[in-house]
Amino acid sequence: MISIIFRWIDLSATFIDQSNKLVLVIPPLCLVILILIVYVFFKKPLQVFLVDIACYKPPSSLKCSKERFMNQMRSFVDSHFDEETLEFMEKLLARSGLGDSTYGPPALLRDPPEPCLEAARSEAEMVMFGAIDELLAKTKIKCDQIGILVVNCCIFNVAPSLSSMIVNRYKFRDNILSYNLTGMGCGAGLRAIGLARQLLQVHRHTYILVVSTENMTQNFYFGNDRPKNLVCSSFRVGGAAILLSNVASDRGSSKYELLHTVQTHMASCDSSYNCIFQEEDDKGNLGISVTKDLVISADNAIQSNIKRLAPLVLPLSEQIFYAINTFLVKHLHLANSMACKPKFTRAFDHFFPHLGAKFLLDELQKKMGFSDEQMEAARMTLHRYGNTSSSTVWYEMAYAEAKGRIKKGHILWQLSFGSGFKCSSVVWKAIKNVDREKMNPWSDEIDEFPVDLSNINSSYPYKFERS
C-alpha cells in the first residue's frame, strides 16, 4: 500500500507539471493519500477461524501400560540400562500421572526393538495420515482447497520432509506453501498456530492445514543418565491435524475464532537455553537432557508471557487492580508474597496447559488459581494419552468437547512450553456449542472420566530448582 501511495504522488506530480492546474489537483491528491494511509494503518485484521480438529487415536495393539513399558526396558538391561536406572524410571512412571492406556511407538514395543529410519517414517505416516484422514472426513474439505501446510515435529527430521510426505500422499496442488518446523519442542504446535495466523493476514480466502506430532522411534534414549531418562519415560505416540480458514463464509461452520496469540522466547538466558538440550552422554548415546533449571525457566517464561497476555484478556477492573498492586510491590519494596496474581479465572472458561508430569500441573494450578475442573482436561489427557508433545493441548480441547462443556461464547486458553525456552499462548472463542461427536478420540470412553488421581505420590524422584 505504501508503494501505491508514492506511485500516486509521482503520477500526480507529472500531471501537475503538464497541466499547471496545481490548485485543482492538490486537494483530491491529499484526499487520496489520506484515505490510503487510513486504510493501511487502521484496517481490521482478517478473522481466523478454526474449522475443526482431529486427534489421532492409535490402535489398541500399541497400548503401553506402565508394566509393559518396564518389561520392555528390562529386556534391554544387559546392554543398556542398569538396575538403578530401571528403579528410577519405575518411580517416574508411578508418579508422572500416566495411566495404563497410553500408546507406544510400534518399533520400540517389538522384541527386540527396531529403532530404524524406516520404522520412524512408518510411525510418522501412521499418525499424521490418520489425523488428516479424519479431519478431511469431518470437514469435507477438498485437498486442492488447502493453500498452506504447516507441520511441526521436534526431534524427527527426515528428507524428504514431513510436509513433503503429506503433499505426496494427498496430492496437494503444486503451488501450496509448506513449512516444516523442527527443534522447537512441545510448544511448537501453538507456534505453528501463530505462524498460520500471520500467513492468513497476507493470503486471503485461504485454508491452512496445521499438523502437530512427535516421533520417538529413533530418539529414545538407551542409557543411564538421569536427566535424559525423564523424557523417554513420559513421551507417547500422538498427533493432531487442525484446519484454519480466513474465509468469512466459514464462520457458521467453524468451531472457534482465533482471538490472540502471544509468543515468548527466553533463549537469551543461558539457563533457559540449556534446560532442555539434546546431547550425547559419555558413552555416545543421544538423548534429551532436562536440567534442574526447568521449573525456574518455565516460571520466568510464563511470567513474561502473561504480562503480555493479561492486557488482552483481563477485565479492565482486574487490570487496574493488578497494575496498582505491582507498582506498590516494585516501588515501595513490599514483600513479594504480597504481590497480586492476575485472576485469569475471570477471563477464561477453559484452560488447556501442556506439561509432561502431574506435579508440574499441580505447581501450575497453585500459581494460576484454576479450579480442579478447569485443570481436569490436562490431567486426564496426561493420564490417558501421556505426553504427546505439541499435540497434547489438542487432546485436551477434544476432551472438553467430548464432555459437552464448550458453549457458544466461551473463551479457551491453550498454554504450552518448549525447548529454547519458549512459552506460547493461544486464545480462542467458541462460535457455537460444541456437542459430542463420533470422530473424537475420547468419544467411546468419555463417560469413564475423570478418574481419581489423588493416590499418586506427589513427590517427584528428580529434584528441580524451585523458583
Residue 259: phi and psi, rounded to 5, are -100, -50
Helix (H, G, I), strand (E, B) or coil at 421: coil
- Residue whose C-alpha is closest to residue 391's, from 68, 130, 99: 130
Query: What are the cell numbers at 454?
Result: 489423588
Q: Which of these is catalytic: 64, 154, 354, 440? A: 354
**Residue 331 designated active-site:** no
**Residue 423 designated active-site:** no
**Residue 186 designated active-site:** yes
Residue 244 belongs to what H/E stretch? Answer: strand 239-245
**Residue 152 designated active-site:** no
Task: Give me the half-sphere count of Cα atoms (radius 13 Å) on the Cβ side of residue 442.
Answer: 24
User: 274 near 293, Cβ under 8 Å?
Assistant: yes
Q: Which of these is catalytic: 64, 186, 275, 423? A: 186
**Residue 203 designated active-site:** no
Q: Which of these is catalytic: 265, 275, 423, 440? A: 265
Q: Which of these is catalytic: 64, 180, 305, 383? A: 383
Tell me the C-alpha distance between 359 and 349, whole Å. 23
Tell me the C-alpha distance between 354 and 360, whole Å. 10
Q: For the residues of 95-164, what is the DSSP string, one character each?
A: HH---S--B--HHHHSSS----HHHHHHHHHHHHHHHHHHHHHHH---GGGEEEEEEE-SS---SS-HHH
Q: Which of these is catalytic: 246, 387, 423, 440? A: 387
Residue 200 belongs to what H/E stretch? Answer: helix 188-202
Tell me the C-alpha distance between 404 and 411, whole Å. 15
Q: Which of these is catalytic: 180, 350, 423, 440? A: 350
CA distance to 109, 151, 207, 227, 389, per residue, from 134 (Å): 25, 17, 17, 37, 20
Tell me the C-alpha distance between 70 and 73, whole Å. 5
**Residue 265 designated active-site:** yes
Tell me the C-alpha distance between 152 and 130, whole Å. 16
Residue 453 DSSP code: -
Residue 218: phi and psi, rounded to 5, are -95, 5
Which residues are part of the catalytic machinery?
186, 265, 350, 354, 383, 387
